[in-house]
Each structure stands twice: as structure tokens, then as C-alpha cells.
Structure 1
Amino acid sequence: MKLGIFFRSLVACSALSLLAYAVLPGASLGLLAKMLAASLGVSLLAPFIYTHVRGVQNGDRVVVVAGTTSSITGFVAKHATALEKGHIGKKIRVALDGGPEMEATVDSYSGILSPARVSLSQKDLKIL
């Protein structure tokens, strides 16, 4: 989840709620509270929806994981830059920092603090 998207959508939705409260004749404080609660709900969902709609874009930082390794046994990960757009399950080209370009599969999108994760195919593992 991206915190910037959350705060921008919270401000925008809250502004719309306050504007609707000001314009609607006979609107009560209960209605305002409901609209502000709905604004908070939309703002909490916005970063998740945005990330899935956007996917991985050209120039995004990604973490390259070697194959299907787990975090317990021999975890190998390097940083790279995405050279193509892609979504989960799709193959994209990535450029390793200080290394070659290769093809990887998008495993997950970026989180609050973590970049998107991609994994290399078995044929590219020897390069790492």
C-alpha cells in the first residue's frame, strides 16, 4: 500500500463529503459522519486498487528472487529495474543493478515499504 495515495484519496474524499454536506438541504450531522466514514473506507481501499490496476511499470524498482527459493533456505535476492509493464504472472524484462538484462515473472506488487517482487526462470539462475 502506498501511503501517499492513501492520504491524497482521504483528503479528496473528505473534501467531497464536506462539500456534499454543505450543498444538501437538511443534511444532519449523522449524514456527515456517515459520509466521512465512507470517505475513510474508500481511502483505505484506494492504494490496494491502484496498485493492482497499475501493476509494475517501466522504470519501477523491483526485487529479483532466484526461482522458487524460500526465505528460510538459501534466499537469493537482488535489486533491479523493470524495463516493461506487467502484472502478476506475466513475464517482463528487468535490468539487474550492475548486471545483465533478463526475463522475470511478476510475483507480487509493491507494498508499503517493499518494491514489487519478480522471480527468474530456472535457466537464468546461473547468472546470479
Structure 2
Amino acid sequence: MTIAADKDVVLVRQVVRSVAVTVALSLVDQTKLVTAASELARNTLVYGGGGGAEIGVVDSGRRKGVRIVFADDGPGIADLDLALSDGYTSGGGLGLGLGGARRLVDEFEIDTAPGRGTRVTITKWSRST
């Protein structure tokens, strides 16, 4: 999915919720995933200058989950430790920051460097086996 305008952030949230329902995430886990995805989609738009999101179902053999990859070709994150620290936000998002988004999901991976953009991969697993 392309993230180039505010309406795209809304669409990402809608698709993430729909996919979360199909893998039987609880309502609480759906909300956590949608909240994290919304923050990361907004970051992709505002700080990365736009980019994309790939949303898919993953299967570990025991349970299913939702994996989302957000990618942009923006300026990258100069101080990743600061950006991931509790309470850090540069404004404009939900106020969660990357650290808050990381706490809402089961798996969080980020690849960034100044001048080469940012790629964030998150996964939320169903609790049932």
C-alpha cells in the first residue's frame, strides 16, 4: 500500500484491522496492532516523506499473526537510541513514538541510517494455538 497522504494512513488502519480479524486476534490485540500501525504509517508519511506498507498474514505452524513492513526513502533516523527511548516524540504523531509502537507488538525490527531511509517491521501474533 502506498502512504502518500493522510487518507492513506486511514486506509492502512482499516486494512490492518481487517487482516487482524481474519487471524483471530483478540479485540485488545487488534487495537494494539492498529494503534502501532497508525503511528508507524504516520511516521512514514511525516518523517519519511511517504513510502509504503506491506501487510500480510504469517503462520508459525502453531499460530497466525499479522506482519507489516513500513518503508520509506526519507532522511533516516539520526539517533535511533533517542528515537526508541521512552517518552520521546518529535510531535505530530499519536505521541507514542517508536518506543510506544514497539511495546504494542510482539516483534519489532527497525533498519535505518541517515541518508538511506527507514524500514520498520512489526508482527502481532494470535494468542491461540
State the TM-score, normalizing by the size of structure 1. Answer: 0.27
Q: Which has the higher contact order (CA 8 A, sep 6+)?
A: 2
Q: TM-score, normalised by structure 2?
A: 0.26
